[in-house]
Amino acid sequence: MHSKNMPYLNRVYRNLKSVKKSQLKVVMENLRDSNCIIPVGEGRSECALHIGLSRINKTVKTTEDIDFPGNTIYEAAEELERRFGKVAILVNSGSGETLIPKRTVQMMSEYIEKSGSKNYTINAIVSNPYSSIGMVREKEYGFIVELKGRKTEPKTEREYSKLGIMNDIYELGSLMLIHRMKLAINNGKDNKFVLDIEDKFNEICKIVDRFTEEEMYGELVEAIERRCHVTVGGLGPARSVALMTVIRLQHVKRSVCDEAYISGPLAPHPRAGDVLLLISRSGENDALISWCEKMKKSGVQVYSIVGRDSTLSSISNSFVLDCREEDFYCYAAYALSPLPLSVVDRLASHGLRLPEYILRWYHSVTQ
């Protein structure tokens, strides 16, 4: 188990293997027994939930759903219980202090204690068990899985490859954990399956090392480093992979007075020299192919991550991610995780150093 190019992946693996099986067992039982799962997170933690839970054989509801029966989880709790019976709240928050997840846990605790409901469980993945969210474990309806993040902050840009940028190690670990929980539920596997990941992580490390050694990867990093806008796009679960990537690229691009966007109406009109990065398992989505062709006519450099040789791979500078269909979106997020680190390295080689406190300053307060 070793990534020669991105050693932070080795820390992700060790942290996952250190998860307490007793904690995981109870949370898995709660998810299996539930008729509805409500994922709660912010920023990349929310992306990890959406990618990991995509195509789970359970009803999943979020407060953004058009048919969500209330403006808040507290308002909706009684109706959700009436509709679904057993409901599992699944919270992902490394610090255990992020605003929306913390407020959700507070509201649901208030509802459960006032109503006396036995149908709700609050299940949290956190790196700090003594955080506001982590302390839900002291309630009879509250359960946590402790997943460690990084232990120390990088002192120089050279240490990003070992430690990641900000919460990289935790976010990637939580993504894999949720993805494996989903597969266990879908395929009737036992709890041991969730952390039986050595072969999977070997696959991921080989994919990341191969990707970062591709000529296409070097060209993509060079293109992103230039003065340009970067737009990342995908549909369905790929959009969550795109958003996870955009949030991380924004830290770097904003530091040099550029911007990274998720595809859609808020992305700027393309200019020559801009970069478009598309994510598609099939590579045959009509909308993405259309975006690619239109952007290329405007002089945009188009790159893609796909699951097979396809129309999209033939008309863009593409990397084919060779893995099982059920793993594609999780693996794509891992494959794209080195991008910001490589851009920072390239900028540093040209004399522009970006210590983490600079990147953190440009991090949105709403993520």
Are domains 8-204 and 209-361 of this chain identical in fold? Answer: yes
* pLDDT tens by residue, the chain, 367 residues: 577 778 889 999 999 999 999 999 999 999 999 999 999 999 999 999 999 999 999 999 999 999 999 999 999 999 999 999 999 999 999 999 999 999 999 999 999 999 999 999 999 999 999 999 999 999 999 999 999 987 777 666 666 666 667 778 999 999 999 999 999 999 999 999 999 999 999 999 999 999 999 999 999 999 999 999 999 999 999 999 999 999 989 888 888 888 999 998 888 888 999 999 999 999 999 999 999 999 999 999 999 999 999 999 999 999 999 899 999 999 999 999 999 988 988 888 888 776 777 777 766 544 4
**Segment (H or E) for 102:** helix 99-115
Cβ 109 vs Cβ 131: under 8 Å: no
| 3.40.50.300, 3.40.50.10490, 3.40.50.920, 3.30.70.980: CATH of 209-361 | 3.40.50.10490
Residue type at position 36:
C
Phi, psi values for residue 253, rounded to 5° = -65, -40
Rg of the chain over CA atoms, in angstroms? 20
d(CA 62, CA 210): 36
pTM recorded for the entire structure: 0.93
Q: What is the CATH number of domain 8-204?
A: 3.40.50.10490
What are the sequence ranges of the domains in the chain?
8-204, 209-361
